[in-house]
Amino acid sequence: MKNSNETTAHRVTITLDSAKLPVDEQARNALLTEFRSRVGHLVEGLRGIDAEQDDIDISTGYRYAQVPATCPFCSDRLDLQSVHLDTGNGALASAVCSSEECNWSGDAVYRIIDLEGGESDAFESSVLTGDIAPSYPPY
């Protein structure tokens, strides 16, 4: 049985959709600063969460996740080979650590994070223009 006092680092994501924020940048930044402070005070009152105000990030718009193309064991560069489309929203590529001392290999996972296109030579992000909205499924 695991010790009930053990902890591990995790990310907590709070998403607030359809927030009507001020257009004025200074007013919007003041509101976001106040929001960050209030969230920080709530976190301070929770037992079991040891977080500092600097650990809290408040931003607007969409975000995407990415990981570096480095080996998860030794941090050397990964060699990516043979990309294969999967049956869903992305692809897989064979990944092998470039270090001769490390034997790590696996798959790099790719997902479509945006669609860029346009009616002219200027390509625009479909996410930034609001034509599509990303989803955030858990791992």
Q: Where are the domains of the chain?
A: 12-63, 64-115+122-138
Which pLDDT band, with edges at 50, 70 and 90, does 105 fall under?
Answer: very high
- What is the per-residue pLDDT across 26-42, written as a single tens digit (0 to 9) for each? 999 999 999 998 988 88
For the cut 50, the answer to whether the pLDDT of residue 1 exceeds it is no
The structure's pTM equals 0.67
Q: Which residue has the higher pLDDT, 110 or 13?
A: 110
Residue type, 43: V
The end-to-end CA distance of the chain, in Å, is 25
Which pLDDT band, with edges at 50, 70 and 90, does 86 fall under?
Answer: confident
Record the tokens describing residue 13, joined without a space.
């994501």
Which pLDDT band, with edges at 50, 70 and 90, does 16 fall under?
Answer: confident
